[in-house]
Structure formats: structure tokens, C-alpha cells
Amino acid sequence: MVTFKHPLKGEFNDNTARLERLPHNDDTPASLEIGYGGNGLVALRKADDPNSTVLIYTPEEWEAFVIGVRDGEFDLDTWD
């Protein structure tokens, strides 16, 4: 059991969280894992190193992040 503590948001316990690792379009596993905590917090971490840095979001922060991704807010120009 690993519990990550955020000084303002509370605790995220990955033992009780619902963890998702979505595949890429070619069905290879993604490098990031999303965890949905029972207390509403959402965590984002490297799937191959679960004890590394974990980003913890409140439900409102996560919703804003997902909306930004869908709207292309974080898209990067490529060097093609």
C-alpha cells in the first residue's frame, strides 16, 4: 500500500484507488497511469515507476485539465 500525501489536498491511497492505464492506438500500454481515489482525488504517475513523483488533482482540477487536453490547449507544434 502506498499513500501519497498532499499538504493541501489530502491523501491519495493507490491501494484503494481505481487505476487505469489506457493503451495507445496500436494497443501498446501508455506510459502514464491514472488513479481515481475513493475520496475524489485523481493521481497521475509513470506506470513503470509508481513510487516516483505523483501529480494529485482535485476533481475540479482534473476536469479543467481534461477539458484543456480536449480543446488542444496543451498541443505542441511538431518539427515536421
Residue 43 to residues 2, 26, 47, 64, Cα–Cα distance (Å): 12, 25, 11, 14
Is residue 69's pLDDT more than 80? Answer: yes
Structure confidence at residue 80 (pLDDT): 63
Q: Which three cell numbers stand for residue 39?
A: 475520496
Is residue 78's pLDDT more than 80? Answer: no
pLDDT in tens, 18-60: 989 888 888 888 889 999 998 999 999 898 887 888 899 999 9
Q: What is the pTM of this model?
A: 0.77
Provide the β-strand partners of residue 20. Answer: 34
Structure confidence at residue 66 (pLDDT): 94
